[in-house]
A and B are shown apart, each in its own frame.
Chain A
Amino acid sequence: MLAFLLLTGWFQEVASAPSPAGAAAHVLLREESVVVEPSGRHTTTTRGVIRILTSAGARHARAGVAYDDASGNIVEFRAWIQSPGGKPQEIASDGFTDRSLSQGELRSPLRQRQIEVAAEPGSLFIYQSTVVAQAPFPQLEFEFQENELPVGHSRFRLSAPTAWGIRSVTFAAEPTRTGNTWELRDLPARPRTLPRLAITLLPDNSTLPRLTSWSDVATWLGDRAELAARPSPSVSAQAQRLTAGLTTKRELIQALGAFVQQLRYIAISKHVGQGGGFTPAAAETVLSRGYGDCKDKSTLLRALLRAVNINSWLVAMNATNRSRVRPEWPSPRVFDHAIVAIETESGLIYFDPSDPYSTLGYLPPAQQGSPALVLRPGATLEVTPERPGEIERKITLRLEQDGRVSGRILETSRGAAAAENRAVLASGAYDSRLESLLHTQVTQWKVQDGFPEDSLHLYVQFERESKLAEADGLFVWKPLLQWEELRGPLSIHEIVEIEFHPRWTVEELPEPVRSEAFSAAWFLRDGKLFIDRQLRTKNGGVIPVESLPVVLRVLD
């Protein structure tokens, strides 16, 4: 009974609010209150009320709380369901699920407790949780809206030591601020961007860092990484072994980079509350274990480079959601990946030693043109370079009297295109992929890879048993290869040369197509048919809508 009385006090203020038409469920209240202590320990109380409006909305009767089981704990997590016309019924504790949030890590202290209940339309789902955690730096984030559901009232309350400064930034939102409470009301369904609040606290002591600029963030992250990157005798010895006989700086970097690339990617997260997620293992340890995560491998590479007198820095970035990194909110929280920036005569070279297939000078497509923070004093947010992958392909075909086709493909790929080919080769599925692309039987194929030098050469020989397409006495020739390579910035140039048996004549050819980025031409020369197609994508492979008709013609 006491629980019910305590509950009704806060949820009744929103329980009678009207819901917008057309929604499957309506978030009546979404509230988070955070109390920050001088030590950086903070207590977060979350409350929510969701009205289920349709049977399709029943799946929204759920809530989850993330926590770190090493440096934090869930003090309370309760939930209630109130059927239409009924009273709130508390959900028993054995209805809650607790699961590891590990995403491929061998060990992670991050966990989530969650509750999901069956709810009929008209029901209210109510939840409340309190979590205590230790943060390594005093920054907070709050999403006023969590998903596509409309929200009636969303509120964030902060209580911090009075002497501390507070800086707030909002994204896709203009909340009302009263003291240290930020509120938004009547948020429509399906926002293009989720409205978000980001807060930086400025402590009056030196226990916790003051992160007011990207330079502060780079210093804080860099300090955690610097000690680990010092080359120990065994690291130096390894560097000498790997570079023996090499002379140019590029050769040294390539050799050391390739060595770290081949080490296993294994993540073991510890001490997250004390900043463990941002602190690499010592290079010596990574070398002796033979594995590490992105920051571990990057740190080992830095130590190896330092052992041969090459400067480099750790680089923080977001490899899965670059839009998280916003210049107006300097924070370590927005990063999920670490790579290395290496000093050369021609400037910095960005290199990802966690990607086993990319060669020096190329980043994986998801990391190109992406905001990145080089962890050195005075750093500002920079943008990684874009460098399109390249494919040059020559296809030679012979069309026999009976319509059968035989031929060969010579292809050279570079950069991200070569890296993608290496990944398919490593999976052992290259022959299946070729046959599926060619719709035919591959009689022979060979690969010559120049790794760690760039460029991968492919030779394929094939025969097609089925005859050409027949249509009213005509035979129809369609491009042999579907272009599936359109991932990331890419430049493709393909020439097809078709030799005919004398019984064949060309009845009609498509019109040439040309635009700034795409072109395709079909022409006859010396009794042979040539098809010349080119495509150059930029900006992460995005094709502008206005160019789509031309692109479709080229690809078809």
Chain B
Amino acid sequence: MLFLLALAEVVFWGTEVQLPGQLTHVVRLQLATQADIHAYGAIVLPYSPSRGESILGVRASTVLPDGRRVPVPADAIFDTVVWKRGDRERRTLSWAFPAVEPGSVVEYEYTECHAGGFSFPLRIPLQRELPVRSREVTVPPGMLPHYRNCESCRSNLPAFREEPDAPAGGLAVLELTTPPETSWSAIARELAAQLEEELGSEPVTAPGDLETLAELCRTRIQNVLYRTDNLTFSGTPEPNRIPAETWRRGYGTPREINLLFAALARAAGYEVFYARVVSRQDLPDLSQLASELIAVRQATGYKFFNPGVPYLSRGLLDFDEEGRTALVATSEGPDFVTLPRSNASQNRTERTALLRALPDGSVQGTVTLTYTGHAAALRKRRAERQSPAERLAALRQEFPGAEIQDILMENLALPAAPVRITFQIAVSRYSDISPRRLFFPGHFFARFAAPRFPEAKRTQPVEFPFAFSVHDTVTFVSASGAERVFHRNLRQERLRYSPADYPSLRKEWATFHDAGREVYLVERLH
């Protein structure tokens, strides 16, 4: 049949790592069907000369099912400048395999050169858009290999598909590093000493508990990195050498604001430390450290703060920090701690609609959207990149087919406050109509959104960035004065679902999406 699904697979993919900066790939692709040939019968290799990348030694050929070999001639391999601006340049090498028929194997090899050598950790992909039957990576002696996201990393790797809500960096890779030259103890002591130096000797004080001090830093100091409406620094910032300078000038980078918080907390009598999110605890190296927080020692353990991010509500860390392992840098050495997570109640979306159900089948009324915690932070981050006109346009796009006016957006720039958006809405042809009745379905908000998980199958896990809840209340008041209220709630505490768990997640979300779709306010027509 013409439309046979793709069954192609990579029968062999070998990569030889040569220091200081060459990767030689050998790939053999088995193309079983016409669909395979259409999808994978041509190769495009991107590279960037301006980043010191080049591709050498390309050889490619088709091996027909009867064993005959048809090489790709050199003049059929095209080197194209895809994009160029000043010194920056992106190019591709591309070719199509000739004479391919179902059952053919297409082979190619090339060497990827990185002038100036590799930067470590070097991540070598093991997976690609097709299943890989055999994967070989030859590593120079002395390098430390570390496999990520795979159980069987050398054979039978499943195809990797980009899917929405998949965990970031979900591709199976081999991570190569050089042996560590330091230890976590040394790094922790270094960070502790760095904090002492950066806090300076000039004290800064302010009244209040730790949360109040964090709020003070977040709201009183203009953040030069973020463009939050009422916190944007409009001048040319000078670096603040010590927290007292940040305090006096009233502006700072996220890091300077965090340091100011540390200084205030110390002045209030607390022990403060740098805390860094750690990617791999088994590899003591600065490259494994990500976002920087302030840890405060308390009787029950550490409490963590990140006032340098202006959008976070009281008590919240950034969502990509939640649940991660952090290194707390004390002068005695490292403490590895799991950072706390927020719960669904803290990250709440509340949507209410008070609607008049009109005799022509349309509805009109007021909608109020309220967001707290990370749900609010997401809207604030999005709003930061938008002009006021773009914010209104984006909101209108959230309610396709509806007429929206009198839009009021509150607290988009206030760090801890919930975002609140109200507007008037009119939706024509909202109801279903029979000769004698109007049926107003209760799933008002779902009407404007597609189902979250439409795909029946899934290859990657689903990962939500944080726990959250959604609460919808829709009140219809009919022309005859009848009133009906519909509620719809979703509480998403669990963050990760394996592909095996996907059907149950999909069903839960479909139930939420369809809730109220078939429950009506009924009006008799006269």
Partner of B84 from A97, A268, A422, A425 at Cβ < 8 Å = A97
Q: Provide the residues of chain B in CB contact with A508, threshold 8 Å.
A: 434-437
Give the total number of A-B pairs whose CB atoms are below 8 A apart: 137
A264-B96, A266-B42, A266-B96 are contacts. A471–B519 as well, Cβ < 8 Å? yes
CA gap between A470 and B517 in the complex, in Å: 10
Q: Provide the residues of chain B in CB contact with A288, threshold 8 Å.
A: 98-99
Q: Provide the residues of chain B in CB contact with A428, threshold 8 Å.
A: 5-6
From A100-108, A317-325, A537-545, give the one contacting chain B: A100-108
Q: Provide the residues of chain A in CB contact with B83, threshold 8 Å.
A: 97-100
Partner of A357 from B2, B389, B432, B433 at Cβ < 8 Å = B2
For the complex, is B252 an interface residue (Cβ under 8 Å from A)?
A: no
- Contact across chains for A264 and B2 when beta carbons are under 8 A apart: no
Interface string of A450-469 (1 = CB under 8 A from B): 01100000000000001111
Partner of B86 from A94, A258, A469, A476 at Cβ < 8 Å = A94
CA gap between A381 and B439 in the complex, in Å: 53
Interface string of A472-489 (1 = CB under 8 A from B): 101010100000000000
What residue in chain B is nearest A55 (Cβ atoms)? B387
Partner of A289 from B78, B96, B451, B518 at Cβ < 8 Å = B96
Interface residues on A, range: 35 or more
Interface centre among B100, B389, B456 (most CB of A within 10 A): B456
For the complex, is A432 an interface residue (Cβ under 8 Å from B)?
A: yes
Partner of A290 from B1, B100, B387, B433 at Cβ < 8 Å = B100
- Contact across chains for A451 and B1 when beta carbons are under 8 A apart: yes
- Contact across chains for B85 and A97 when beta carbons are under 8 A apart: yes
- Contact across chains for B2 and A356 when beta carbons are under 8 A apart: yes
Partner of B85 from A98, A261, A266, A268 at Cβ < 8 Å = A98
From B30-38, B256-264, B417-425, give the one contacting chain A: B30-38
Interface string of B63-94 (1 = CB under 8 A from A): 00000000000000010111111110000001
CA gap between A147 and B33 in the complex, in Å: 45
Q: Among residues 14 to 68 in chain B, which have CB atoms less than 8 Å away from a CB atom of chain A?
A: 34-35, 37-38, 41-42, 44
Task: Tell me if A's interface is mostly helix, strand, loop or mixed.
Answer: mixed
For the complex, is B141 an interface residue (Cβ under 8 Å from A)?
A: no
- Contact across chains for B81 and A469 when beta carbons are under 8 A apart: no
A107-B78, A435-B456 are contacts. A291–B96 as well, Cβ < 8 Å? yes
Partner of A100 from B1, B80, B522 at Cβ < 8 Å = B80
- Contact across chains for A56 and B389 when beta carbons are under 8 A apart: yes
Q: Provide the residues of chain B in CB contact with A357, threshold 8 Å.
A: 2-3
CA gap between A333 and B368 in the complex, in Å: 54
Q: Provide the residues of chain A in CB contact with B435, threshold 8 Å.
A: 508-511
- Distance (Å) between the CB of B47 and the closest chain A CB? 14
Q: Provide the residues of chain B in CB contact with A469, threshold 8 Å.
A: 439, 441, 517-520
For the complex, is B238 an interface residue (Cβ under 8 Å from A)?
A: no
Q: Provide the residues of chain A in CB contact with B434, threshold 8 Å.
A: 476, 508-510
Q: Among residues 396 to 412 in chain A, which have CB atoms less than 8 Å away from a CB atom of chain B?
A: none
For the complex, is A13 an interface residue (Cβ under 8 Å from B)?
A: no
A56-B389, A100-B80, A478-B432 are contacts. A451–B518 as well, Cβ < 8 Å? no
Q: Among residues 255 to 274 in chain A, which have CB atoms less than 8 Å away from a CB atom of chain B?
A: 258, 261-262, 264-266, 268
- Distance (Å) between the CB of B57 and the closest chain A CB? 20
Q: Provide the residues of chain A in CB contact with B34, threshold 8 Å.
A: 262
- Contact across chains for B94 and A106 when beta carbons are under 8 A apart: yes
What are 28 sample pairs from A and B whose C-beta atoms fall under 8 A apart?
A55-B387, A94-B87, A99-B82, A99-B84, A100-B80, A106-B95, A106-B96, A107-B80, A264-B41, A289-B98, A289-B99, A290-B37, A290-B100, A291-B42, A291-B98, A435-B456, A436-B454, A449-B1, A449-B2, A466-B518, A469-B517, A470-B520, A472-B520, A508-B436, A508-B437, A509-B435, A510-B435, A556-B432
Q: 18 additional contacts, CB 8 Å, given A95-B85, A99-B84, A469-B518?
A: A97-B83, A98-B85, A108-B80, A264-B96, A266-B42, A289-B99, A290-B37, A291-B42, A356-B2, A356-B3, A426-B5, A428-B6, A439-B514, A449-B2, A470-B519, A478-B432, A508-B435, A509-B434
The 7 closest A-B pairs by CB, nearest first: A469-B518, A94-B86, A471-B520, A426-B3, A107-B78, A98-B84, A97-B85
